[in-house]
């Protein structure tokens, strides 16, 4: 191999973010181990093997997705954004008619396709598509309006709402409020970095906080009002369980109470790997943190949170290194998606937040969420892979 070929190989190697790869792989190992513990105590041996192998296959598909997404540069992602958004909307509409009846009967949500034993949630793929579209909209607007004014900021906010509203309506029709919250978190994060003045953001944030507080108060004192605008019984039950988890531990608060017991029983260092004395419903997916808390205790939970913070820090670092406005909005959306998932999942597992059915990124059992998160990782890694400072920094020709 010639010196030039070696230099090109070194350049290509430098463009791959091994820090992000390491963080995701460690989370994947923790996920496989946690799913094994949950499944081995709740299902038969054959079901455990099938669940683990299925999750490994999803990881393999996710890795392929990362490799493919890495090949797209900023210009290609820009062109792909409206196509991905359109496909996502089509899938969200389709699932309203072709949803899994079995999942609807058990969860009340029309948000899953089912082909035999294989299930798929299109809203998870809609998340990265929405992030790409939102980044394109904001970047295009800011290029058109170099100087921010109140008028231009309101126009930008209107554009962002216009692209978000169809998703919110479709998720409302699917009865999937938890996933809707993730999109709102992504929206909020991109709004903050978009350059819109705080004179607009602050009043809207205060109004949102007021509406949320009012809704919680109405759950206790005025359910009739909320029922008239579409709130369901199970949503009231979840908020009641959150406000008073010990009130009805045999029914509405059972899952949350059991999760809190499992996490608390782990104490400081945990009971050890593959020890499970507290049963928690659906702990292989939504309540996976209860497994980690019981097995590895407070220290294990802190290590897990540190890994997520490390992953997010690495994503932020790549964003600053690339110095690209479109990339900045892309990474903000991906970071908010991962951050909100972690915050909500762990928060609901220990009683700090209401139950919403949001999985823990890269750890919870399930292919749809994993693929959506891996696509997000692929977008971040493509930013560094196609950044010229990494492509040529080790090349003699650059100097």
The answer to which of 212-216, 233-237, 262-266, 368-372 has the lowest mean pLDDT is 233-237
Share of the chain above pLDDT 90, in %: 60
CA distance 238 to 251: 11
Taking Cα atoms as reference points, which of 386, 367, 364 lies closest to residue 375? 367
Q: What is the predicted pLDDT for the residue at 91?
A: 95
pLDDT digits (tens, 9 = 90+) for 269-293: 999 998 888 999 888 888 999 999 9
Question: Is the pLDDT confidence value at 396 over 60?
Answer: no
228-241 per-position pLDDT tens digit:
777 777 777 788 88
Pick the closest to residue 284 from 179, 292, 158 (CA basis): 292
Tell me if residue 175 falls in helix, strand or coil.
Answer: coil
pLDDT beyond 70 at 388: no
Give yes or no for residue 140 having a pLDDT over 60.
yes
Q: What pLDDT is stored for residue 170 in this prediction? A: 95
pLDDT digits (tens, 9 = 90+) for 309-332: 999 999 999 888 888 889 999 999
- The DSSP secondary structure of 313-340, one letter per residue, reads HHHHHHHHHH--HHHHHHHHHHHHHHHH
Asked if pLDDT for residue 12 goes beyond 80, the answer is no
Q: Side-chain half-sphere of 104: how many Cα atoms within 13 Å?
A: 15
Average per-residue pLDDT for the chain = 87
CB 363 within 8 A of CB 58: no
Predicted pLDDT of residue 392: 41
**Residue boundaries of the structural domains of the chain:** 3-195+252-392
What whole-number distance in Å separates Cα of residue 381 and Cα of residue 317? 11
201-224: average pLDDT: 84
> Per DSSP, what are the bridge partners of residue 114?
119
Q: Is the pLDDT of residue 394 over 60?
A: no
pLDDT digits (tens, 9 = 90+) for 43-61: 766 688 888 999 999 999 9
Note if the pTM is more than 0.75: yes
Span 203-227, average pLDDT: 82
More confident residue, 387 or 100: 100
């Amino acid at each position: 191999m010639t010196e030039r070929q070696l230099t090109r190989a070194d350049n290509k190697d430098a463009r791959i973010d091994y820090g992000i790869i390491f963080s995701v792989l460690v989370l994947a190992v923790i996920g496989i181990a946690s799913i094994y513990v949950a499944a081995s105590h709740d299902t038969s041996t054959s079901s455990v093997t099938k669940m683990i192998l299925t999750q490994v296959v999803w990881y393999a598909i996710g890795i392929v997705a990362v490799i493919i997404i890495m090949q797209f540069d900023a210009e290609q992602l820009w062109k792909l954004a409206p196509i991905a958004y359109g496909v996502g909307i089509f899938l969200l509409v389709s699932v309203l008619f072709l949803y899994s009846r079995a999942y609807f009967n058990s969860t009340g949500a029309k948000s899953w396709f089912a082909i035999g034993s294989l299930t798929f949630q299109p809203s998870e793929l809609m998340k990265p598509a929405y992030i790409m579209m939102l980044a394109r909209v904001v970047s295009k607007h800011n290029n058109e309006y170099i100087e921010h004014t109140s008028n231009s900021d309101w126009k930008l906010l209107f554009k962002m709402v216009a692209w978000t509203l169809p998703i919110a309506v479709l998720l409302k029709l699917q009865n999937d409020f938890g996933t809707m919250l993730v999109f709102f978190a992504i929206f909020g994060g991109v709004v903050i970095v978009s350059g819109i003045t705080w004179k607009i953001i602050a009043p809207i944030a205060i109004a949102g906080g007021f509406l949320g507080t009012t809704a919680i108060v109405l759950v206790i004192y005025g359910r009739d009002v909320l029922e008239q605008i579409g709130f369901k019984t199970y949503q009231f039950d979840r908020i009641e369980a959150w406000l008073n988890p010990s009130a009805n531990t045999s029914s509405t608060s059972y899952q949350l109470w059991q999760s809190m017991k499992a996490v608390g029983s782990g104490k400081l260092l945990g009971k050890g790997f593959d020890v499970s004395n507290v049963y928690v419903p659906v702990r292989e997916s939504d309540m996976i943190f209860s497994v980690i808390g019981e097995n590895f205790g407070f220290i294990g939970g802190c290590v897990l949170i540190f890994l997520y913070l490390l992953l997010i820090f690495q994503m932020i670092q790549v964003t600053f290194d690339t110095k690209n406005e479109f990339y900045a909005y892309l990474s903000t959306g991906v970071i908010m998606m991962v951050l909100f998932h972690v915050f909500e999942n762990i928060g609901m597992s220990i009683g700090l937040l209401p139950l919403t059915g949001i999985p823990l990124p890269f750890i919870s059992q399930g292919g749809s969420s994993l693929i959506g998160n891996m696509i997000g990782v692929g977008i971040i890694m493509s930013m560094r892979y196609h950044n010229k400072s990494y492509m040529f920094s080790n090349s003699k020709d650059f100097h």
